[in-house]
Amino acid sequence: MQYRTLAHTSVSAVGLGAMPLSIEHRPDETRAIATLHAALDAGVTLIDTADSYHWHAGEAGHNELLIARALARYGGDTSHVLVATKGGRGRPGDGSWTVDAGPDRLRRAAEDSARRLGLDAIGLYQLHKPDPAVPWAESVGALRELLDAGTIRAAGVSNVTTAQIREAHAILGDGLVSVQNRYSPAVRDSEPELRLAAELGLAFLPWSPLGGISRSSLDGPSGPTSHGTAFHRVAAAHGVSPQRVALAWLLARSPAVIPLPGASRPASVTDSAAAADLTLSGEELELLDAQ
């Protein structure tokens, strides 16, 4: 496993997005725990979650509690694992997502997340999404207060524009360490945010990094499939999955990138983690860039 810098420490170059383990169509707890343990076995030391990663009403924090149980049951050392969580969104249980990034709500949410995770201080706490009903400076100001209070050790922002990143950086200073936006082979409109994150020395954490790569191609009957996108063709040449190629391509975009692929079974997370050790040639990267 290769490593990159986040929150003034080293974490695995590929993290795990734990959301699929708690939302609709989630696996049973046995498989969910096995998936988290497979990530740790593969060298993953960054796990991404949120208090809103749950399915039914009344189970806020389901994913955080699941991760806490998985870490407690793991046989090895987990002291180096960074669990990054988020606040500012909600799920009423009808399949929808709400936004509530008011300062009071964020302060309570962070305290509740720390309790569920069993932490004295959250290693990385991210504002999940800007709330159009709350001035951005007020939401980010709540992160500043959480930093000052020691409730969180580092802060991040998610689903943001370059202007919002700059304002957050002005308020949080060195306390701001990450930007988490959607970025994948199919969705590349966060290029400006990626460039700015790298310029400011922030980690850029793509969510849904496998968008545009069919999951059906992960385990073809004769190995990786050779049809479809350039990612499939490069995968066939290397004898690996197109998902692994997509993550290796993301890693090559910038040293600031730490992708967060989701997984709901051990095989998927093991395959994703292996992307950190896949080297693509300059010609292959040009082909994938042009896809």
pLDDT digits (tens, 9 = 90+) for 51-100: 999 998 889 999 999 999 999 999 999 999 999 999 999 988 888 999 99
Average pLDDT (180-197) is 96
- Where do the domains of the chain lie, and which CATH numbers do they carry? 3-216+253-269 (3.20.20.100)
pLDDT digits (tens, 9 = 90+) for 165-185: 999 999 999 999 999 999 999
pLDDT at 217 over 60: no
What is the sign of the dihedral through the CA atoms of 188, 193, 197 and 200? positive
- ∠ Cα 203 204 205 (to 5°): 110
Largest Cα separation within the chain, whole Å, is 55
Catalytic residues: 53
Position 226 scores a pLDDT of 46
Residues 6 or more apart in contact with residue 70 via CB below 8 angstroms: 32, 33, 36, 37
The pLDDT of 187-199, averaged and rounded, is 96
pLDDT bucket at 214, cuts 50 / 70 / 90: low
**pTM of the predicted protein model:** 0.93
